[in-house]
Amino acid sequence: MPDQFELIMQQTPEEDRLRILSEDYVSIIFHNQNSPFDPTAILEEFLPQIVNRKYVILNAPLSEFPPDITTQGYYSIPKLYTLLDTTNLEASGILRVQNQPFLNLNGGGVIIGFIDTGINYMHPAFRNPDGSSRILNIWDQTIQTGEIPEGFRYGSEYTQEQINQALRSVSPLSIVPSMDTDGHGSAMAGIAAGSVDEAAQFSGAAPGASLMAVKLKPAKQYLRDYFLADPSVIVYQEDDCMLAVSYLERKARELNRPIVICFGLGTNQGGHDGRTPLDEVFNSITFTAGNYAIIAAGNETGLGHHYFGKLEKMGDSSDVEVIVDRETRGFSMELWAFSPELYALGVITPLGERVSPLDPRIGATQSTSFLLDRSSVKIDYEIVEFQTGSQLIQVRVANPSVGVWRFQVVNKRYLNGSFHMWLPAGEVVSPYVRFLYPDPDTTLTVPSCNDNIICISTYNAYDNTLFLNSSRGYTRDIHIKPDIAAPGVNIPVPYDGSGYRRFTGSSAAASIAAGAVALLVQWGMEDLSGKILSNNEVKNLLYRGAKRSDILYYPNREWGYGALDVYGIFESLI
């Protein structure tokens, strides 16, 4: 009689796909770089999906591998990513570059890839004048009826040929059923590379570029439960984002064309120092010339999701207050501190019940249910977090009572007494949960903190002011981010069947910057004897061309090296 492993090996690709999508199975981010074996052979029972040489995604039974940082490690649990958003091309110097007769750049020959809510392939913004599609590929992770892309185990891939066939059909969705029901992904793609529509006075930043899109599948319920995500908000899993980056990079490599990957999602989960698994996947692709990563900085300033503390000596403590002013399902929170500092954390509920600080040690954990209300708290410690080496304290508060929750942070080993705490980004946490005394700095969302990616903050091109909620640097380890600011207020975007609307936020700014990078890459290929600019060259060209104010110092926490100005790059080179 065959054993369980043999039965698994006999499963069909369709059975594998159903298992990966099942709520009864968890995703585990497996760090393979230092392992002496090939995980695709030894771990085949877990349906390994290779991201790159460093990371593999495993799928395991939830009953046997429930998410738990004390047994699996924090890095292995996929984090939750959320959408960052609810006269700009001219301000960025893009129109001058498009119209200057000796430059005449439009992004031709370059691919811009999007990892988001999908793309409305039927909209005129993504079609050529003859009606054919400018989209090369769509990987829709939510549809399981089509062909699975090679090298992956779920979702459906649609080629440009299939998309064109659908556009010629009276029933296009019967051929390519992928849709963008949210509109966020289509808005980003339109800003970066929408086709010129003179009647609507619309143009993307790089209207000659080709497009690729990955539509992410929503996060599984077990992760939503683990991180106590607000039930009304759509969130996405880190491992799906990692595989999406891998997909886009592979497809561009097959076509031997440069690709600019634009990412408009973010999270506050992680050390904010560029070392999460998704940070490192984006980082890894930038070492190959022709791959570029443009990441939105986020819209976290003003939302009350970050706290910075500074204690004077060992044994000192600080009460960090979180206000909960309406009923909510719960919230998670993370404390990060650089080694060799150590902290312990206690809790005082609004009704006065206490959880005393636990001496920090490897594998330490506390679970407490309170007598006077239905609230409960779980606190997990990682003394040396695998990716960063920092101390991590993860807190999860379920069914919190309304009022002020006090978290007593106690220093147990002193170096400089500083620590950071973050609540989840955007609407993953209820808007009625926030720090009472937040810090507006160090509010960049992950994965925008990695050195090699190009991090974009947001300003209003109509009055040249920083967008109110634009996230601020620097990173937790004081590296300079954001890199530059781009317009992101009231940007025209494709909407519905063939119309347009206005869009605001850091995703819009990142999209404009992605289109600008496509123009630079095209210039390198056409005017520099076929040169493929490196990611580092592109980043520093953006620095050189950026507009800077006489009354500010640069680089700074809000604008980085200044405001995007593509034409200014060429002026600086004359």
Q: Report yes or no on 201 lying in a domain.
A: yes
Those residues with Cβ within 8 angstroms of residue 385's Cβ, 6 or more apart along the chain or in another chain? 73, 74, 75, 271, 391, 392
Which 3-state string (H, E, C) describes 424-473? CCCCCCCCCEEECCCCCCCCCCECCCCCCCEEEEEEECCCCEECCCCCCC
Do 396 and 377 share a structural domain? yes
Q: How many angstroms separate the Cα of 494 from the Cα of each of 123, 192, 204, 210? A: 7, 11, 10, 16
Do 31 and 94 share a structural domain? no
CA pair distance 357, 352, nearest whole angstrom: 15
Q: Report yes or no on 158 lying in a domain.
A: no
CA pair distance 548, 520, nearest whole angstrom: 20
- 8 Å CB contact between 373 and 393: no
Say if residue 6 is exposed, middle or buried (CB neighbours under 10 Å; 0-12, 13-18, 19+): exposed
Tokens representing 439 are: 């810090």
Q: What is the pLDDT of residue 4?
A: 39
Q: What is the pLDDT of residue 7?
A: 38
Q: Report yes or no on 458 lying in a domain.
A: yes
Do 380 and 468 share a structural domain? no
Q: Which residues pair with 291 in a beta bridge?
A: 259
Neighbours of 334 (CB within 10 A): 19
- 8 Å CB contact between 423 and 454: no
Reduced to 3 states (helix: H, G, I; strand: E, B; else coil), residue 260 is: strand
- 8 Å CB contact between 123 and 186: yes
Q: How many angstroms separate the Cα of 334 from the Cα of each of 220, 272, 307, 436? A: 21, 11, 10, 16
Those residues with Cβ within 8 angstroms of residue 554's Cβ, 6 or more apart along the chain or in another chain? 548, 560, 561, 562
Asked if the bond preceding 340 is cis, omega within 30° of 0, the reply is yes
Q: Which residues pair with 333 in a beta bridge?
A: 395
535-545 and 506-527 are packed helices; what angle lies between their axes, rounded to 10 degrees? Answer: 110
Tokens representing 449 are: 């903190």
Do 358 and 213 share a structural domain? no
Of 245, 298, 291, 278, whose CA–CA distance to 507 is shortest? 298
Report the length, in residues, of the chain. Answer: 574
Do 189 and 96 share a structural domain? yes
Do 464 and 413 share a structural domain? no
CA pair distance 520, 517, nearest whole angstrom: 5
Tokens representing 563 are: 């405001």
CA pair distance 435, 549, nearest whole angstrom: 33
Q: What is the pLDDT of residue 22?
A: 94
pTM for the whole thing? 0.95
Do 92 and 236 share a structural domain? yes
Q: Report yes or no on 141 lying in a domain.
A: no
Q: Report yes or no on 33 lying in a domain.
A: yes
Q: Report yes or no on 480 lying in a domain.
A: yes
Which residue carries 């607000």 as its tokens? 230
Do 215 and 104 share a structural domain? yes
- 8 Å CB contact between 262 and 511: yes
pLDDT tens by residue, the chain, 574 residues:
344 334 334 456 788 888 999 999 999 999 876 554 455 555 788 888 999 988 999 999 999 999 999 888 999 999 999 987 645 666 677 777 777 777 789 999 999 999 999 999 999 999 999 999 999 999 999 999 999 999 999 999 999 999 999 999 999 999 999 999 999 999 999 999 999 998 888 999 999 999 999 999 999 999 999 999 999 899 999 999 999 999 999 999 999 999 999 999 999 999 999 999 999 999 999 999 999 999 999 999 999 999 999 999 999 999 999 999 998 999 999 999 999 999 999 999 999 999 999 889 888 999 999 988 899 999 999 999 999 999 999 999 999 999 999 999 999 999 999 999 999 999 999 999 999 999 999 999 999 999 999 999 999 999 999 999 999 999 999 999 999 999 999 998 998 888 999 989 999 999 999 999 999 999 999 988 789 999 999 999 999 999 999 999 999 999 999 999 999 988 887 6
Q: If you compute the radius of gyration of the chain from its CA atoms, what whole number of angstroms results?
A: 24
| Last residue of one domain, picked from the residues 404, 435, 466 | 435
Those residues with Cβ within 8 angstroms of residue 247's Cβ, 6 or more apart along the chain or in another chain? 139, 149, 151, 152, 214
Q: What is the pLDDT of residue 477?
A: 96
Those residues with Cβ within 8 angstroms of residue 97's Cβ, 6 or more apart along the chain or in another chain? 103, 105, 519, 566, 567, 570
CA pair distance 15, 9, nearest whole angstrom: 11
Strand 465-466 and strand 454-460: pairing? antiparallel
- 8 Å CB contact between 466 and 485: yes
Do 106 and 240 share a structural domain? yes
Asked if the bond preceding 172 is cis, omega within 30° of 0, the reply is no
Q: What is the pLDDT of residue 1?
A: 37
Q: How many domains does the chain contain in total?
A: 3
Q: Report yes or no on 440 lying in a domain.
A: no
| Last residue of one domain, picked from the residues 435, 469, 496 | 435
Do 494 and 385 share a structural domain? no
Of 416, 43, 447, 457, whose CA–CA distance to 267 is shortest? 447
Domain residues for the domain of 229 are 88-120+178-301+446-573
Q: Report yes or no on 171 lying in a domain.
A: no
Do 50 and 95 share a structural domain? no
- 8 Å CB contact between 30 and 77: no
Task: Measure the CA angle with vertex 511, ends 506 and 516; round to 5°.
Answer: 125
